[in-house]
Amino acid sequence: GQNIDQPTEMTATEGAIVQINCTYQTSGFNGLFWYQQHAGEAPTFLSYNVLDGLEEKGRFSSFLSRSKGYSYLLLKELQMKDSASYLCAVIDNDYKLSFGAGTTVTVRA
């Protein structure tokens, strides 16, 4: 099976920066996604990385290192509305998408 690890919980202050790490061991690699999920809602797409490096999209950035099996999601200038779960997901060689258990981020005033 696939193994995708990310921290269970993180807490940060409004206006700060938080980095959510994700490590993976999968049967091949065809891309990595980050999704955001607010409590009681459906996951929504944040970012997609298939090549090594940093992808920046506004306050959110995602980094990938394929050789290390590692990604992180960087949230800058945190806002209260960023309190949510963040899901790391990897596509393997069979094009199957597997999710990590998610990281719950709590933003405090």
Partner 1 sequence: IAGITQAPTSQILAAGRRMTLRCTQDMRHNAMYWYRQDLGLGLRLIHYSNTAGTTGKGEVPDGYSVSRANTDDFPLTLASAVPSQTSVYFCASSPDRGAGELFFGEGSRLTVL
Sites of contact with partner 1 (CB under 8 A) = 1, 8, 30-31, 33, 35, 41-45, 48, 87, 89, 91, 95-102
Rank residues 88 and 107 by Cβ distance to partner 1 and give the closer one: 88
Rank residues 53 and 94 by Cβ distance to partner 1 and give the closer one: 94
3-class DSSP assignment, residue 83 = coil
- Supply the minimum distance, in Å, between the C-beta of residue 19 and partner 1: 20
Rounded to 10 degrees, the C-alpha dihedral 78/61/59/38 comes to -60
Rank residues 9 and 14 by Cβ distance to partner 1 and give the closer one: 9
Token digits of residue 22: 């994700």
**69, 56, 78, 71: which is closest to 10 by C-alpha?**
78
